[in-house]
Amino acid sequence: DGVLCLPERTARLAGNNALDVFQRHREKELKERHKIYRWATWKEGLPLTIAAGSEDDLPANMRFHEEKRLDFEWTLKAGTLEMVLKRVYTLLSSWTSLEDFDLIFWGQKSPLAEKVHQCWRDDELFGYQFLNGANPMLLRRCTSLPTRLVLPSGMEELRAQLERELQNGSLFEADFILLDGIPANVIRGEKQYLAAPLVMLKMDPSGKLLPMVIQIQPPSPISPTPPLFLPSDPPLAWLLAKTWVRNSDFQLHQLQYHLLNTHLLAEVIAVATMRCLPGLHPVFKLLMPHIRYTMEINTRARTQLISDGGIFDKAVSTGGGGHVHLLRRALAQLTYRSLCPLDDLADRRLLGTPGALYACDALRLWEITARYVEGIVHLFYHGDDVVKGDPELQAWCREITEVGLPQAQERGFPVSFQSQNQLCHFLTMCVFTCTAQHGAINQGQLDWYAWVPNAPCTMRMPPPTTKEDVTMATVMGSLPDVRQACLQMAITWHLGRRQPDMVPLGHHKEKYFSDPKAKSVLNQFQTDLENLEREITARNEQLDLPYEYLKPSHI
């Protein structure tokens, strides 16, 4: 019952001729989009979001397609049913030994999850996860011993070992200090617990990353020299210390590196794109395939996962408000450099580390994505002055780094684009974050979190302060109960599984560009990705544990 006005497909930059029919069209389009796509504050001090109380409030173009919606909702129901069956199945059983987790370890699981189930107690697999597990973002190579690592007298041998590894450049750390002082959840009247551990690891000559010492809590006035746990300790004490680290990694992985650094950032990019770039703009055409469904999945997360009474409140130790505190802290650390793999891996001194498969694949994907972005940008921006003089592009930049991400320019984000290079780098970051980085962070949930003791969502007893008193009852009393464990398995399968309507990177069906030159840039991108796929497949055939998350066909 109305007129729909569609421009042809050729990408073009804004002109300054007010009489130009295309110029009038793009101005009118942005005016309408400003009314439809509005910013909202989910929680003070966090990135802004799309204004939508539920997914039904979203603009129709941003909604899941019908098959996607049905699949998403049905698998959630199937997961809930599986959870109920597991609960019933375990009602008659005791919950007193680690083997009792086998009672719920059935249903949807991957071959790697089975391997984790078999080997999760091994120090080697514990260390491996910092390089290539669900969260490869925290590990860094040491340049000095951390100040928080207070070594009491009698530990001279350990100090000498640490110093030796430091001299060799083979000493690494994973510090969870961001969790220090975050309030822990209360689930069904039961207090849960959080810690802020520090792990020191060494890389042996064969390339294995092995833990040397774990400090579960940082020094405090009450405990100036907190206990240190060692591989030579009684086996259950050492296992419990490692389990505390894995629980802390679950929190930072899900909240800082998954929710904030990929989902919420992608949403800021998506909303800014809809508000500032008309459909004719080449950057709109470049970004659109990579922000599909971002607004709906995030809106559903805010109403079901991290909402009051949502999954986090029901089963995760940072739920009940701690997660919001943690996100605020994490945002203060979200620098522009941390989103660009070459800078991030250099800052963490991991470039060239043997066996760092995430690092290796991420760098290759960044390079391939950058070549694609540069190819498109150079077709439309023939010099730095064209970049500087594009008002829509400059407004889009400000919308992201001044409006959507509060105070981002203080953390190295650009507030305007002054050159082709600066624009290409930023766009590469946008595409990489929404595609490859999310793939690396999301897919591992299926493998590493299905066996709950390897990454417990919550801990139900305070961290141990002595080693001799740790019994199997302490370990089982600390790990999630049946209800929480079932919920963890169901939700990580639901979120980490391969989506049936997944479109692999570079293979979107919509033809946004009509220019033959732009098409050949996309074709080259697809060829580069196919070559990388072959390289990764060949490499993985030589490995005991293949690293699949950054295979282009999985992204």
Q: Contact, 456 vs 479, CB < 8 A?
A: yes
pLDDT tens per residue across span 364-415: 999 999 999 999 999 999 999 999 999 999 999 999 999 999 889 999 999 9
Tokens representing 186? Answer: 């209360």
Domain borders along the chain are 21-137+234-554
The pLDDT value given to residue 264 = 97
335 DSSP assignment: -
**Which residues belong to the annotated binding site?**
258, 263, 438
Tokens representing 552? Answer: 């282009």
What distance in Å separates the CA atoms of residue 453 and residue 455, rounded to the nearest whole number?
6
Q: Contact, 293 vs 263, CB < 8 A?
A: no
Q: State which H helix or E strand residue 6 sits in.
A: none
Q: Contact, 248 vs 197, CB < 8 A?
A: yes
Edge-to-edge strands, sheet with 198-203 = 140-141, 171-175, 198-203, 209-215, 228-229
**Which residues belong to the annotated binding site for Fe cation?**
258, 263, 438
- CA 299, chain centre distance (Å): 17
Q: What is the CATH number of domain 21-137+234-554?
A: 1.20.245.10
CA nearest neighbour of 329 among 141, 178, 153: 178
In this prediction, residue 72 has a pLDDT band, given cuts at 50, 70 and 90, of low
The pLDDT value given to residue 302 = 94
**370: helix, coil or strand?**
helix
pLDDT above 70 as % of the chain: 92
What distance in Å separates the CA atoms of residue 216 and residue 225, rounded to the nearest whole number?
11
In this prediction, residue 85 has a pLDDT band, given cuts at 50, 70 and 90, of low
Of residues 89 and 253, more confidently modeled: 253
Number of other residues whose CB lies within 10 A of the CB of residue 77: 9
pLDDT tens per residue across span 426-440: 999 999 999 999 999
**215: helix, coil or strand?**
strand
pLDDT of residue 86 exceeding 60: no
In this prediction, residue 89 has a pLDDT band, given cuts at 50, 70 and 90, of low
Number of other residues whose CB lies within 10 A of the CB of residue 28: 12
pTM of the model: 0.93
Three state DSSP letters for 500-512: CCCCCCCCCCCCC
What distance in Å separates the CA atoms of residue 151 and residue 76, rounded to the nearest whole number?
48
